[in-house]
Each structure stands twice: as structure tokens, then as C-alpha cells.
Structure 1
Amino acid sequence: MSKADRRFEALNIAVITVSDTRTEENDSSGDYLATQAALAGHNVVFKNIVIDDIYQIRALVSAHIANENVHAILMTGGTGFTHRDSTPEAVTPLFDKHIEGFGELFRHISYQEIGTSTVQSRAVAGFANKKVIFCMPGSTGACKTAWQGILKEQLDSTHRPCNFAPHVLPKN
């Protein structure tokens, strides 16, 4: 079956920015992800900003994981090495399954753009309660790299040979 034979199915996406300094007025990374998801035909059902605190991150992500109307969670920020960066520590214990290839591929693509500085990215992804969760660095450039190089195709139900849509959409 070709891509043309497949019907596009919009996902309901929550976008979370993890930051101690971002506000709705200056959240360029979260805005980028939300805009790109909407332009791709998806529904952005939540857009949140949460401070870089393990328990506040975990509480917000857990609420989205428990929400039947959310299919995917795109997170930006908190993946570096400063003492406040805690997104991987907050989120990975919630995963039922890890998507190791996301971090590997993100760093591979990012290496072409920023060289060895990509080793400071702790981009991670996984599944929790039939939701796919992607955690990427907080820069808008990193979000562009992740969206254009991975997420746009992997969230597109028509992308072949495979994508994540069948794993998160309710079975009819």
C-alpha cells in the first residue's frame, strides 16, 4: 500500500516547555512545535510551560499521559547538563517502553549542524499508556532539527514504511 493509499489521521498533541525563564510571550521553541504540528494537520490540545522541577514536570506529564484525548507529548527543554536540567530524570521513569532510536537519530542529525556539541543533548523518547513522548533540547534550532528530521514523518499516519500513529490512535 502506498502513501497515497493511506488516510491522514490527526493526532492530539500536548506541547510542554520546561523552563525557569520562558513565558507565553517568549516561548519560541514551544511555539515552533505547536505551529508545526498544527501546520501538519494535528490538533494541539495543550500548550504548557512548567518550571524545571522533577516533580512538577512529572505531575504535568502524568496528567497528559492519563488524558484519553492526548496521543503525543512534545517536550522542549531541560535536557542539558546544568544543575536544573531534569527532564530525562522526570520523564523516563514514566515510560513503559523507551524509543532509543530517537535520541540516537536526533544526535546524528544534530551533529551535522552543531558538531560535537550534540553530545550534550540528552534527547529521549518513549511510550507511556499508549502515548508517545519526545523530549528534546530547549533551543528553537534543536526543535527544528527534531521536527524536520524525525517528528514530522513519525507522527504522520501516511509515512511509510512505519510511523507512530497506529501505536497511539484508538483502534476503531
Structure 2
Amino acid sequence: MSRIDESKEFIPVRIAVLTVSDTRELAEDRSGDVLVGRLQEAGHTLVARSIVRDERTDIAAQLRAWVADPEVDVVISTGGTGLTGRDVTVEAHRDVYEKEIEAFGTVFTHVSMAKIGTSAVQSRATGGVAGGTYLFALPGSPGACKDAWDEILKWQLDYRHRPCNFVEIMPRLDEHLRRK
């Protein structure tokens, strides 16, 4: 449910989109295209986009590079969240997380149940935080990317969303690193 406080000003966030695939190139990256279109339509800024193979170390390396980049506030990856042997995106994300946002996967499953029924159990969508950057791993289908954006991320990445949102706590995500 959207509860936008129109008295507050929208704050765009800087988002990087990562597609995990052994076979896709940018020209065929429909899921990445969905995310880019939706984040730009919402008023956010696409700061980077990349495709990496389904290799845990490669995925984690790209995530760490974007976490270290002060121009990236949020990373959204698509692909590699399933159950097959090549699906290692979730493990790569967890290699990078300082804190996992456990409820993200739960809420995504809830949203998916309404769309695809019990097949939602096969998704391992996840979210977390590292170095003051939000990281989200979504399934590789365009439909799953639409659902995650439209039902969760669109609202949580909008500073005006009430009662709370991810943007309002961004300045405090890395406060533990600044403590003396």
C-alpha cells in the first residue's frame, strides 16, 4: 500500500543494475531493461549497468566495487536466485552483506504468491546492506523484476513513503564505521 506524504520532496537515489547470466548480452537483457525503465520513470538515476557470468566471485567482486563507489546508493541484481547449481547470486550477495534485510525475501515471496502461487517458493530473493549501500537480488524474469519494483522497491526507495522507507535511514547505514 502506498502512503506518499506529498508535503515532502522526492529525493532521487543513484542505482546500479547488475544482470547475472551466462547467456545474456545487454541487447537481450529484458529484466535489466525493466529495472532501468522503472527506476528512471520513478525519478531515480541509473549510475551503472553491467552483466556478469554466474560465478560467485565475479558477482561479489562487482557488488563490492559498487559498494566502494560513493556514487552508488543502491544495487539491484537480477538473475541467479533460483535453485540450480549455477544459481549463486544469493551466496555472492551474502558474501558482501554486513546486514541482511530478512523481511525483503519474505515480502517478495508474499507478492509472488499472489502472482504465481506456490511456485514462489523457488525464489531466493534477498536484500542487504554493506558499506552504506543497499543490495537487492531479484529473480531473472521480467515479471519478477516488475513485481519487486512495483510492490516493494518503488515505495521503499521513495523518501516520501510513510510510515518509513529505506531512503530516510541512508545517512545512518554506515554509522558504525564512523564511531570511535
Q: TM-score, normalised by structure 2?
A: 0.91
Residue 112 (structure 1) shift: 0.9
1:1-172 equivalence runs, <5 A? 3-168=5-170
1:37-93 deviation per Cα after TM superposition (whole angstroms, max 9, x unaligned): 011000000011111000000110000000011000011000001110000111112
Aligned partners of 1:80, 1:4: CA distance in 2, in Å? 38
Aligned partners of 1:6, 1:130: CA distance in 2, in Å? 23
Residue 169 (structure 1) shift: 5.0
Letter in 2 for 1:147: W
Aligned partners of 1:105, 1:84: CA distance in 2, in Å? 25
CA gap of 1:102–1:157, structure 2 versus 1, over 3 A, is: same
Percent identity between the two aligned chains: 46
Runs of 4+ in 1 over 4 A off after TM superposition: none
Q: Which residue of 1 aligns with 2:177?
A: none
Aligned partners of 1:32, 1:145: CA distance in 2, in Å? 10
Residue 168 (structure 1) shift: 2.6
Q: Secondary structure of 1:25's match?
A: helix
Residue 166 (structure 1) shift: 2.1
Q: For structure 1, list consecutive stretches of 5 or more residues without a partner in the other structure.
A: none
User: RMSD over aligned Cα, in angstroms?
Assistant: 1.4
Residue 167 (structure 1) shift: 2.7
Q: Secondary structure of 2:35's match?
A: helix
Aligned partners of 1:49, 1:163: CA distance in 2, in Å? 28
Residue 170 (structure 1) shift: 8.3
Aligned partners of 1:31, 1:145: CA distance in 2, in Å? 14
